[in-house]
Amino acid sequence: MAERDPETLKREMTGWRRDLHANPEFGFEEKRTAAFVAAKLREFGLDDVTEGVGGTGVVGTLKRGSGNRAVALRADLDALRISEQSAAPYRSGNPGIMHACGHDGHTAMLLGAAKLLAEEGGFDGTVRFIFQPAEEWGRGALAMLADGLMQRFPFDEIFGLHNMPGLPIGHFETRAGPIMSAEDNFEIVLRGLGGHAARPHSGNETLVAACALVTNLQTIVSRRLSPADISVVSVTELITDGTRNALPGLARILGDARSFRPEVSAGIERQMRIIAEGTAAAYNVAAEVKYSREFVPLHNDAELVDAAFAAAKDVFEPGNIAIAREPMTASEDFARFLDHVPGCFVFLGNGEASAPLHNPAYDFNDEGLLFGANFHVAIARRRLGI
């Protein structure tokens, strides 16, 4: 079969992407998105399309030849609870929800790859197209795995990608070993005795203690952990029950921590509890620490990184392919699949002028769609060579 005109496919993917962008859905609520994906996969003639995997996930299967190996390609479906600030005609039609991370683009890329591979083949074995829900809050991969993903749709290895603002269009990066961090969430509750703002000595208010604790938490990374370990502790919210003329008796401090090794995560939690209890004691209030682990670190398999670089050479200009200089302290639910099979996660440029991820002004750059689709295709063909 003659190869498809790339501009025709680009226009199709752009239409899909903008439709998805205009109709964003939060994690485990992606019913329209999943139905859109499933309909396209069936239209392309895949051998099997299964909906409802892990709630709202979709898995497409395409087989060619007699090979017994299977490779999985993964995209994410969900949007964020962010109000879009855009004048684009395809801006979000769902108030308070937008595709601020480019999952609309990731989905369109994988759909494009499914269409190309279904039409042109060029591989021997099985390709699993995994469209995962609820990546943003770290539950979608676990839900698909709990729903029997590996047993119902077995595969030997998995590849995923993410767009990267600041990296030029047509550029590719990845690295072996740690590439994205774990994410831990914490909440520290301080309880004391609030009272009149004019009489602080008559109670044990919590706001000054909370401010001291926010500052003290910064010493975990700077003074309690090895400088050789990359880690971040960020306080993101400070909430009290005070008002203009009333001192609070309750304060809540929330935030997250990032790291690349379980030992570092454990050290952050341990030091946080020591500092919270000590600071609370100094201000004569009580402290309660809640600490949870939401995302695990993402470690790329070295052999599959080599395979990804080889596939990238089929798609990108040689000078636009690079080893990522350092791991990112953002987190990615893709890491959960790597507890079961080896995998590789890569970054593709979204343009130097792109707004940051999770920003109300962010938009996926449609000029990157063909690069992503063609990379997926190159991986499938190289890993399932005829």
Please report, for the domain that includes residue 167, its CATH number: 3.40.630.10
Q: In which order are the strands placed within the sheet that holds 182-191?
A: 231-240, 250-259, 182-191, 286-295
Question: Rounded to two decimals, what is the model's pTM?
Answer: 0.94
Q: What is the pLDDT of residue 1?
A: 43
Q: What is the pLDDT of residue 5?
A: 85
Nearest to 76 by CA among 49, 43, 48, 110: 110
Q: What is the pLDDT of residue 151?
A: 98
Boundary residue ending a domain (262, 295, 328) = 295
135 and 252 housed in the same domain: no
Cβ atoms 26, 78 nearer than 8 A? yes
Helix (H, G, I), strand (E, B) or coil at 289: strand
Q: Count the residues in the chain.
A: 386
pLDDT in tens, the chain (386 residues): 445 689 999 999 999 999 999 999 999 999 999 999 999 999 999 999 999 999 999 999 999 999 999 999 999 999 999 999 999 999 999 999 999 999 999 999 999 999 999 999 999 999 999 999 999 999 999 999 999 999 999 999 999 999 999 999 999 999 999 999 999 999 999 999 999 999 999 999 999 999 999 999 999 999 999 999 999 999 999 999 999 999 999 999 999 999 999 999 999 999 999 999 999 999 999 999 999 999 999 999 999 999 999 999 999 999 999 999 999 999 999 999 999 999 999 999 999 999 999 999 999 999 999 999 999 999 999 999 98
The residue type of 252 is: R
157 and 245 housed in the same domain: no
150 and 206 housed in the same domain: no
359 and 326 housed in the same domain: yes
Q: Look-up: residue for tokens 């020591």?
A: 274
Boundary residue ending a domain (251, 275, 295) = 295
Helix (H, G, I), strand (E, B) or coil at 193: strand
Give 3-state DSSP helix, strand, coil % of the chain, rounded to 5.
35, 30, 35
35 and 146 housed in the same domain: yes
Range list of H helices, 45-137:
103-120
315 and 233 housed in the same domain: no
Tell me how many domains the chain contains: 2
**Residue 1 falls inside a structural domain:** no
88 and 190 housed in the same domain: no
Q: What is the pLDDT of residue 4?
A: 67
